[in-house]
Amino acid sequence: MAWPLLPGAAATTSLIGAGANAGVGLLINGEVNPNDVILGYWTGAFTAGTGLWGTMGVNAASGATSSYLKGDDPLKGGVISGAASGIGYGIGSKLVELPLDKVLNPMKPWKDWMWVDVGMGISKPLP
């Protein structure tokens, strides 16, 4: 795998994708399918920072590929994977990210703060 060569976000999402595929396969089927893990790895790597439509497109292609390799209907696999990733993206960005962001990132809106120059190119936020 090319994990050490990937940028930070892609490295993280690739490991999440591979781990999720391995875990779900083990939970549902009692075994880990290496093809699914590899597809999950690269799907995670390619979807990093792509937004909703990029995530849905890459997941649809990955689902179609996985279905084809298993001898199932690639159209069905692609549509289900694309739609499920869109739902998951919406849930993750609205129901999970926003509430957790206030807890994990309390200073996030720092760019909206008023800043005062203290000299020599240094500034600090107004209290």
pLDDT in tens, the chain (127 residues): 565 667 888 888 889 999 999 999 999 999 999 999 999 999 999 998 899 999 999 999 999 999 999 999 999 999 999 999 999 998 988 888 878 877 887 776 666 667 788 888 887 777 6
Cβ burial 90-116 (10 Å sphere, 16+ → b, else e): eeeeeeeeeeeeeeeeeeeeeeeeeee
Number of C-beta neighbours around residue 9 at 10 A:
13
Please tell me the total count of domains within the chain. Answer: 1
Q: Helix 51-70 crosses helix 74-90 at what angle (to 10 degrees)?
A: 150
Q: Is the pTM of this model over 0.85?
A: no
* Helical ranges in 30-108 per DSSP H: 34-47, 51-70, 74-90, 97-104
| 123 close to 113: Cβ distance less than 8 angstroms | no
Per the structure, the complete domain to which residue 100 belongs is given by 3-125
**Residues 57, 48, 45, 72: what is their CA dihedral angle, to the nearest 10 degrees?**
-20
